[in-house]
Amino acid sequence: MLIMSLTDKLSSFKDRLKDIKIIVLGDPVIDRFSVVEPEGISREAPIPAMNIKKEYFRLGASYNAVKTLLDLSVKPVYITAVGSDPEGQHFIDQVKKELSDAEIAVDEKKMTDSVYRVYSNGYLLLWAEKSNRKNLSKEAESSLIKRFMRRVDEADAVIVSDHARGIMSKRIKDAVVLAAKEKKIPLVINGRPENAHLYAGADYLRMNKDDAQKLTGISPMNSTSYRNMALKLSSLSRTENVLITWLEEGFYGLRGETFFKVEPVSFRPANVRGIGDVIVSAFAVFLALGFSFEEAAKLSYYTSVITAEGNKSEIFEKLMQFVLEKERK
């Protein structure tokens, strides 16, 4: 029996990417950035007076998964909920520029989360957040579930990008799990430790090393401790398959009782903000294409390394070259 290399499998699936649809359901955040330069001392207090040289906005949190899918030439179906505030309208306006068919509910009782960062000479000076992290109202939950059910028949996989900002609830989780199982498509959760009790029934749970340690109380010292961490994470979240990630140390996966490691590679990260959503979006794409858990974990690791190095165009081509070079060694 001929066994295809990972490079050959990637090549054979390349033309299918444009036909893949992935639902991303998760928390919205607006990231606001200011780049400043000092211009003396303030006359109101003994602090530096700063002059704003540049300001810009980005859509963050779950939208990082959407952006990665677009970079991979995969069609995202984005489902989220914002508040009825100016930030919420700004979020809707920006999303609609890229995804005219995005499903965005409006919750009259919720604030749209935003994070403000101030940089000078490449250093972060200030990090401020506007958020109340309230759960959605029952009306907004119903709207979100209705939107999800209307689009799930199109999907080849579902990502829940949970940033613990109010979108995830037991009611929403139950609806998503049931629909994904009925359609027999993979459900991947990008999880947070405070919401682990909401993940039961999901097919795959991804959590970074620090959050997994916080939830399980196990310090990752070696492969044995990572395996114990994965087993406890699986037990606490009631998800059979878990993926613990850390770019510098590689990925650790647990599929039932089978434990494996994706070996780390040497790289120079330019930006790791939102890397968790990069990982789960790539992981879901490769599962949807028919790759095994282990293969999808390895390919999502390589994709996240490529992205962290600042490469966001022609990612699939770069990935095939990356894998080919690894297989030649």
| Position 2 pLDDT exceeds 50 | no
Q: Looking at residue 225, what is its pLDDT?
A: 97
DSSP state of 196: G
Over residues 134-144, the mean pLDDT reads: 96
Residue 165, helix vs strand vs coil: coil
pLDDT grade for 243, boundaries at 50, 70 and 90:
very high
CA dist., res. 24 & res. 284, Å (int): 10
Contacts of 325 (CB under 8 A, 6+ apart): none
Number of H helices, E strands in the chain: 10, 13
E-strand ranges in 27-67 read: 28-41, 48-61
Task: List the domains of the chain with CATH numbers.
Answer: 6-30+60-120+132-328 (3.40.1190.20)
Averaged over 147-162, what is the pLDDT?
Answer: 98
How many CB atoms within 10 Å of residue 227?
18
Q: Which of the residue ranges 122-126, 170-174, 212-216 would you say has the lowest mean pLDDT? A: 122-126
What is residue 84's DSSP assignment? S
Q: Which helix (H) or strand (E) holds 86?
A: helix 86-98
DSSP state letter for 247: T
Question: In this predicted structure, what is the pLDDT of residue 54?
Answer: 96
Given this model, what pLDDT does residue 3 score? 56
pLDDT given for residue 137 in this prediction: 96
Burial code (b: 16+ CB inside 10 Å, e: under 16) for 27-65 equals bbbbbbebbbeeeeeeeeeeeeebeeeeeeebbbbbbbb
Mean pLDDT, rounded, of the chain:
95
Beta bridge partners of 32: 57, 116
What value does the mean pLDDT take over residues 99-115?
A: 96
Q: Which one of 41-50, 75-84, 315-324 scores highest in mean pLDDT?
A: 75-84
Determine the pLDDT at residue 311: 84
Mean pLDDT of 123-149: 95
pLDDT in tens, 275-288: 999 999 999 999 99
**What pLDDT digit, counting tens, does each position of 173-221 carry?**
999 999 999 999 999 999 999 999 999 999 999 999 999 999 999 999 9
